[in-house]
Amino acid sequence: SQQGEEDPQALSIQEGENATMNCSYKTSINNLQWYRQNSGRGLVHLILIRSNEREKHSGRLRVTLDTSKKSSSLLITASRAADTASYFCAIRANMEYGNKLVFGAGTILRVKS
């Protein structure tokens, strides 16, 4: 089963609004990563946050990590129509899963212009 679980499954917002997606997991992790996927093809890496980090920023993206709650959130501020995509979290947990990323089922974000 997928260990990274995103919610909501789908999110529809107006351009300019903020979008928040959450990811929960069940084991101790080395890092957690967020990826974006357009049109069901290749994924693009957005941010990697290590287990000893609590927050990272990249442009309009803000990722938080709470290892005590085993959860992470991805915030996209001032959303644009071009942000419409599926967003996946992925965890690396070497002790549990070895050398592979375990992906969640994703959140489908639709930004309406």
Partner 1 sequence: GAGVSQSPSNKVTEKGKDVELRCDPISGHTALYWYRQSLGQGLEFLIYFQGNSAPDKSGLPSDRFSAERTGGSVSTLTIQRTQQEDSAVYLCASSWAASGGGGDTQYFGPGTRLTVL
Q: Applying CB under 8 A, which residues contact partner 1?
A: 2, 4, 30-31, 33, 35, 40-45, 48, 50, 88, 90, 92, 94, 98-106
In the complex with partner 1, the residue whose CB is nearer, 15 or 61, is 61
CB 52, min distance to partner 1, A = 11
Please, are residues 73 and 64 in contact by the beta-carbon 8 Å criterion? yes
CB 60, min distance to partner 1, A = 19
Distance between CA atoms of 64 and 13, rounded to whole angstroms? Answer: 21
Query: Backbone dihedral region of 96: left (phi > 0), alpha (psi from -120 to 50 degrees) or beta?
Result: alpha
In the complex with partner 1, the residue whose CB is nearer, 45 or 57, is 45
In the complex with partner 1, the residue whose CB is nearer, 33 or 79, is 33
Please, are residues 9 and 109 in contact by the beta-carbon 8 Å criterion? no
